[in-house]
Amino acid sequence: MDSTRPLKACCGETWNPLKLHFQLRNVRERLAKNLVEKGVLTTEKQNFLLFDMTTHPLTNNNIKQRLIKRVQEAVLDKWVKDPHRMDKRLLALIYLAHSSDVIENAFAPLLDDQYELAMKRVRQLLDLDPEVEAAKPNANEILWAVVATFTK
17, 44, 59: which is the final residue of a domain?
59
In the chain, how many H helices and how many E strands?
A: 8, 4
Residue that is last in its domain, among 41, 59, 77: 59
Q: What is the pLDDT of residue 57?
A: 87
CATH number of the domain where residue 36 is located: 1.10.10
Using one digit for the tens of pLDDT, what is the confidence trace for 38-93? Answer: 888 899 988 878 888 888 888 888 888 999 999 999 999 999 989 999 999 999 89
Residues spanned by the domain of 145: 60-152
Average the pLDDT over each of 1-10, 30-39, 66-75, 100-109 and give the range with the smallest value.
1-10
In this structure, are 10 and 25 located in the same domain? yes
Shared domain for 109 and 138, answered yes or no, is yes
Flag whether the pTM goes above 0.85: no
Q: Are residues 43 and 85 in the same domain?
A: no
Helical (H) or strand (E) element with 55: strand 51-55
- Tell me whether strands 14-15 and 7-8 are parallel, antiparallel or unpaired: antiparallel
Quick one: 39 and 101 in the same domain?
no
Task: Quick: pLDDT tens for 13-35.
Answer: 566 666 666 666 677 788 888 98
**148 touches 17 (CB < 8 A):** no
What mean pLDDT do residues 101-123 have?
94
40 and 77 share a domain?
Answer: no
Does one domain contain both 71 and 98? yes
How many domains does one find in the chain?
A: 2
Q: What is the pLDDT of residue 151?
A: 79
Same domain for 81 and 24, yes or no, is: no
CA distances from 130 to 8, 93, 117, 126 (A): 21, 16, 22, 9
Kindly state whether residues 53 and 78 are assigned to the same domain: no
